[in-house]
Amino acid sequence: MRKARTIAWYTLAILLAFILPSFAPPAEIITVKGSDTMVILAQRWAEVYMRTHHDVSIQVTGDGSGTGIFALINGLTDICNSSRKMTKAEIAMLKERYSSLGVEIPCARDGITIYLNLSNPVEELTLKQLSDIFAGRIANWKDVGGNSAPINLYGRETNSGTYYVFKDEVVKTDFSRSCQSLPGTLAIVNAVIRDDNGIGYGGAAFANGVKRCKIKVDDNSPGYIATEETMEQNLYPMARDLYMYTRNRPTGAVKKFIDWVLSPEGQKEVIATVYFPLK
């Protein structure tokens, strides 16, 4: 009995030696990880915020919403940027690990944009046509009013929030196996710039050097591209919210930063980076 107690005390001492350093006061470093779609905006927010808050260092990395959520669940980031909502399964993991449901903070809006090569004569597509194209049921541009040429598909990897939003709300089935998975939105844009017959999807802010395809709900409805006006009037069919997630209600430096992001000053940067503000 005495021996067991002695062993228990030694064990406790060893554990405390490991644990106590983690109680040291944290440095004012905020880590932000997640959505590749939001990375331009997140970097802009960090830069502008740090100009006036010299005591805070904000480290922003992309890698996709899924990677960001995984990092949040495992305590590897303070803020997760996500272009999709957390799933029930992810919330369950957060409950298990941190006894928390997470805090969802809508921070900006985006319109998933269809990128076409500038030389492509196609101007608009319906949601049904997009589904057929990315599912591989339509494989030639002539079937949607373009030239007779094969359609080359470019998409995101499964760690991308945009991948899931586009799949769940537009494609509604598996992507065609011919769809090339690229590691980031910029890679998709570059691929479409180089490929006359290419088509890709991603955030509106990345659509430089490509044609933005107008999106129609169906054959009879007008086509729209994501603009401040169409987003505000809820006309653009592929609009979505962008989120920041924290494990618990934000406090301290993280709270101050998020409050600033949601302030008119922070939302001004949303417009500056060609995303869309919440209101």
Partner 1 sequence: MLLSISPLLLTAQHTNDTLPKRKLSVQDQLYGFEERITEAENQLFKLTRIHLSGYIQAQWQHFENPAVYPNNYFSIPRARFKIKYQPYSGVSFVLEPDFTPSKVSIKAAYACLNDPWINTFALYAGHIKRLNYENELSSSALAVLTRSMVVSALYPGEYDIGAKFEVNPPQLPFHLQLALFNGNESLVITNAEGDNINPANKDFDPYKDLMGRFVYNFRLGNIGGIDVGVSGYYGWIKANSTTLLHSDYTFARELSVGNSVPRRWMGVEMQLYLDLLGGISVIGEYLFGTNAYPGYMGSSTITAPSAVELINDTMFITNSVTNTSVVTPAISRNFMGAYIYFIKNIGKKNKFAIRWEFYDPNTALTANRIGIASFDESTHNTVTETTVTGHDPVVSESDIHQTNDVNTLKSGVADIAYQNISMAWSYYVTEHITLQAAYDIPLNQKVGTNAAGQGNVIRSYTVNDNTVVNDYSRVFPQNILTIRMQVKF
Q: How far apart are CA 65 and CA 32, in angstroms?
A: 11
User: Of 233 and 248, which CB lies nearer to partner 1 in the complex structure?
Assistant: 248
Give strand pairing partners of 181. 155
When binding is defined by CB under 8 A, the residue of 137, 142, 172, 268 that contacts partner 1 is 172
First to last CA, the chain: 67
Q: In whole angstroms, how close is the CB of 207 to partner 1 at the nearest point?
A: 25
Question: Which amino acid makes up residue 279?
Answer: K
Binds partner 1 (CB under 8 A): choice among 27, 95, 149, 255: 95
The nearest distance, CB 153 to partner 1, in angstroms, is 12
Judged by CB under 8 A, does residue 180 bind partner 1?
A: yes
4 binds partner 1 (CB under 8 A): yes
- At residue 148, what is the residue type? S
For the chain, how many residues are written?
279
**Among positions 2, 51, 54, 249, the unique one binding partner 1 when judged by CB under 8 A:** 249
Q: Which is nearer to partner 1, 23 or 219 (CB)?
A: 23
Q: Rule CB under 8 A: say whether 29 interacts with partner 1.
A: no
Closest listed residue to residue 185, CA positions, set 211, 157, 164, 223: 157
Q: How many CA atoms lie within 13 A of 259 on its CB side?
A: 8
Q: Pick from 119, 173, 208, 221: which binds partner 1 (CB under 8 A)?
A: 173
Of 11-19, 138-146, 209-217, 262-270, which part binds partner 1 (CB under 8 A)? 11-19
Residue with tokens 């959520």: 69
* Of positions 28, 50, 61, 103, contacts partner 1 by CB under 8 A: 103
Q: What one-character DSSP code corresponds to residue 119?
A: T
DSSP, residue by residue, 153-198: EEEE-TT-HHHHHHIIIII-SPPPTTPEEESSHHHHHHHHHH-TTE
What's the CA gap between 39 and 41, in Å, rounded?
A: 5
The position carrying tokens 């492509």 is 120
Provide the minimum distance between the beta carbon of 174 and partner 1 in the complex, in angstroms, as a whole number.
4
Residues near partner 1, by CB under 8 A? 1, 4, 7-8, 11-12, 15, 18-19, 22-23, 74-76, 87-88, 95-101, 103, 158, 167-168, 172-174, 177, 180, 247-249
